[in-house]
Amino acid sequence: MKTSRGLIFALLALAAGVAQADKLDDIKKAGVLRVAVFDANPPFGFVDGKNKNIIGYDVDVANAIAKKLGVKVELHPTNPANRIPLLTSNKVDLIAANFTITDERAKTVDFSVPYFATGQKFIAKKGLLKQPDDIAKLRIGADKGTVQEITLREKYPNATVVSYDDTPLAFAALRNGNVQAITQDDAKLIGLLARVPDKAKYEVSSFALTQEYQGIGIGKGETRLVALVNETLVDLEQTQQAGKIYDKWFGPKSEAPLPRGAFKIGQR
């Protein structure tokens, strides 16, 4: 019968599918690891002005994973909205694109251990902010109507919070000395700091008020691949490689210096 034959084919295909579900073997067989990375989000992933290759922090991490697997890496440029569809439609094997770990996303994809941390941080004159307790005594500039403003007031009810219409205005107030520190997402802060002429006087705090973690995105249920990626990432930390990659993109001599803080790969 047509229907039952179709059903058998379907079942066979499904069985084959299950047998093939192990992505790790597929990658090794193909000899290529396909990774979705950003191409316009420095320093995580962006096009190199000289030879038009995609480079960045995430790219270095992707290369390390490919090296561990003993395969070539194939980069697929993506943007925030396309990351998950690329993975679920099997166009790529991994997402390494400043991908923040959230409960919502964990329903669709599996995450590796965290390999990068961002958070709400501060800019202040060098040496002024050493530990979180220093905040309570200062006048802090924030952006009106942002999550950061609310978090700051919740966590430090004694700090004087002065809110401005946007981050550049808050930064102007900091440079004038009207406030002693300003708070925002660290990625935004280093972007601001990179453009000002007297940036040597300021620094981004090493501690954060809130913490978000970025991980490698992996297809749901690929436990062996997840394990291998985790192993690679933890190895990077143990062999001191992680710190070197970090310094290359965020170290004191980079375009966007950002203290690494206490974060280590695999920790929360």
Partner 1 sequence: MMSSLFPGLLDARYLFWLLKGFGLTLQLSLITIVLATLLGLLVAAAREQRWLAAPCVVYLSVMRNTPLLVQLFFWYFGAASLVPEAWMVWLNTPKSLLGVPWPSFEWLAALFGLTLYSAAFIAEEIRAGIRGVGRGQRAAAAALGLTGWQAFRWVILPQALRIARGPLFGQYMNVVKNSSLAMAIGLAELSYASRQVETETLKTFQAFGVATLLYMFAVVLVQTAGRRRAV
Tell me which residues touch partner 1 (CB under 8 A).
Answer: 139, 141, 144-145, 149-150, 160, 162-165, 169, 172-173, 175-180
Element containing residue 56 per DSSP (H, E):
none
CB of 171 to partner 1, least distance (A): 10
CB of 18 to partner 1, least distance (A): 47
CB of 178 to partner 1, least distance (A): 6
**Quick one: 103 or 154, whose CB is closer to partner 1?**
154
How many residues does this entry show for the chain?
268
**Quick one: 105 or 175, whose CB is closer to partner 1?**
175
**Quick one: 156 or 213, whose CB is closer to partner 1?**
156
Backbone φ and ψ for 127, nearest 5 degrees, come out as 85, -5
Distance, C-alpha 86 to centroid of its chain? 18
Question: How far is it, in rounded angstroms, from Cα 72 to Cα 56?
Answer: 17
Backbone φ and ψ for 3, nearest 5 degrees, come out as -65, -45
CB of 105 to partner 1, least distance (A): 25
**Quick one: 122 or 164, whose CB is closer to partner 1?**
164
**Quick one: 40 or 147, whose CB is closer to partner 1?**
147
CB of 163 to partner 1, least distance (A): 6
CB of 177 to partner 1, least distance (A): 4
Residue 165: helix, strand or coil by DSSP? Answer: coil
Number of alpha carbons in the 13 Å side-chain half-sphere of residue 31: 0
Place of tokens 């193909």: 30
Question: How far is it, in rounded angstroms, from Cα 72 to Cα 70?
Answer: 7
**Quick one: 64 or 142, whose CB is closer to partner 1?**
142
**Quick one: 149 or 222, whose CB is closer to partner 1?**
149
Q: Which residues of 101-112 are buried (b: 16+ CB within 10 A; e: fewer)?
A: beeebeeebbbb
Distance, C-alpha 107 to centroid of its chain? 19
Spatial contact of 216 and 20, defined as CB atoms under 8 Å apart? no
**Quick one: 100 or 163, whose CB is closer to partner 1?**
163
The bridge status of strand 116-125 relative to strand 40-41 is unpaired
CB of 150 to partner 1, least distance (A): 6
What tokens were used for 99? 């991908």
Cis peptide before 43 (omega within 30 of 0): yes
CB of 208 to partner 1, least distance (A): 21
What tokens were used for 203? 């620094």
